[in-house]
Amino acid sequence: MNQHPSVLITGGAGFIGSHLVERLLGEEKSVVVIDDFSTGSPENLHAVRDHPRLRLIQGRVSACPDLAEIAARSESIYHLAAAVGVDRVLESPLRAMETNLHETEAILTAAAACRTQVLLTSSSEVYGKSDRDVFSETDDLLIGPPTRARWSYACSKLMDEFLALAYRRERGLPVVIARLFNTVGPRQRGRYGMVLPRFMADAQAGRPLRVFGNGQQTRCFCDVADAVEALVRLQGAGAAVGQIVNVGGTEEVSILSLASLVVTTLGSPSSLEFVPYQEAYSSGFEDLSRRRPDIQKLVALTGFKPSTGIAAVIRRVAAMKTG
């Protein structure tokens, strides 16, 4: 029998999940991945697909017949399986809500039976329409109306948080909630609306970069390696149990500046093209002007602060695509 400590990662074939798998395998862990490949891909695990300490199970978390046994044998669980990307949410809000709610309940139920610690990845989307300059974990949340599909994702992720904390209070389940802000890096795809890989693919092909709205909306981007470091440290920090913690970068950049930086960094001939929101998305789409996390809690709990700049991420992704 394999004596290495076992870790369960749901959504482990996804963008962030695959980087986490590689990190934990490198730490001599045995890793079990459950992923239905709805947004993840076996290609993301290509480098480790034959690793003797990796077990890959294709399917939904809630449909895994061995889930209870796997949870009982795991020293910890990272729950990353979720609907991702604004395009996917707008196209199928029902699927997004079902995925986020049902699969989370399944993993929490399995983990609670043996009290295996769960790190649940939530989203900065739960902050909703708040116009604060910086988002803190203790802020009140302002969600838009149910008639606008984008808020269904925010509500489903917020319900995930409520569920996790309820399991903590009523069943003694050790849980940590990480609210992820914009995470970027190798293996991220633009097909679900992620802005950086979309910009990079267009710049490398010489196509115009489509900037939605006026481009003055700002975001803080976090390198995936930094995000994974934060997740691993949070999972190992006893004081983080029962806490909600922002995970993100603090370098604020406008979407217009990001597009220009991509073009300059790649030496692309691409032009910039402004596209009204009503043309890019369905009628009534609401974007947010800022998304800057307060990460003081993350630093206090883990001693770690994401620090990789967006220009470095662009160069690294470009090198991997062309190398």
Q: Which domains does the chain have, with CATH numbers?
A: 6-182+223-248 (3.40.50.720)
Span 224-235, average pLDDT:
98
Provide the pLDDT for residue 282. Answer: 60
Do 143 and 151 form a contact (C-beta atoms < 8 A)? yes
* pLDDT tens figures, 121-149: 999 999 999 889 999 999 999 999 988 87
Provide the pLDDT for residue 40. Answer: 92
Provide the pLDDT for residue 34. Answer: 98
> Does residue 134 or residue 85 have the better pLDDT?
134
pLDDT above 50 for 1: no
pLDDT above 60 for 177: yes
Q: What are phi and psi of 5, to 5 degrees?
A: -55, 140
User: Is the full-model pTM beyond 0.85?
Assistant: yes
d(CA 35, CA 84) in angstroms, rounded, equals 13
Give CA separation, 172 vs 6, 110, 115, 155, 168, in Å: 21, 13, 7, 24, 5
pLDDT above 90 for 4: no
Among residues 281, 290, 291, which one has the least CA distance to residue 148?
A: 281
* pLDDT tens figures, 189-207: 877 678 999 999 999 999 9
* pLDDT tens figures, 236-283: 999 999 999 999 999 999 999 999 999 999 999 999 999 997 776 665
Give the DSSP H/E element, type plus range, for residue 88. Answer: helix 86-91
pLDDT above 90 for 82: no
Provide the pLDDT for residue 237. Answer: 98
Q: Is 153 a catalytic residue?
A: yes
Span 72-88, average pLDDT:
86
> Does residue 285 or residue 227 have the better pLDDT?
227
Q: What are phi and psi of 84, to 5 degrees?
A: -130, 150
Do 197 and 257 form a contact (C-beta atoms < 8 A)? no
For residue 207, what is the DSSP state?
P
What secondary structure does DSSP assign to 217-271, as a single string?
A: -EEE-EEHHHHHHHHHHHHT-GGGTT-EEEE----EEEHHHHHHHHHHHHT----
Provide the pLDDT for residue 289. Answer: 85
pLDDT above 90 for 109: yes
Label residue 99 by pLDDT band (50, 70, 90). confident
Do 27 and 9 form a contact (C-beta atoms < 8 A)? no
Provide the pLDDT for residue 250. Answer: 94
pLDDT above 60 for 284: no
* pLDDT tens figures, 27-51: 999 999 999 998 899 999 999 999 9
Span 148-166, average pLDDT:
91
pLDDT above 90 for 2: no
Any idea which of 13-22, 143-152, 172-181 has the lowest mean pLDDT? 143-152
Q: Catalytic residue, from 78, 127, 153, 281: name it.
A: 153
> Does residue 88 or residue 3 have the better pLDDT?
88
Q: Which two three-digit tokens encode residue 120? A: 């649940």
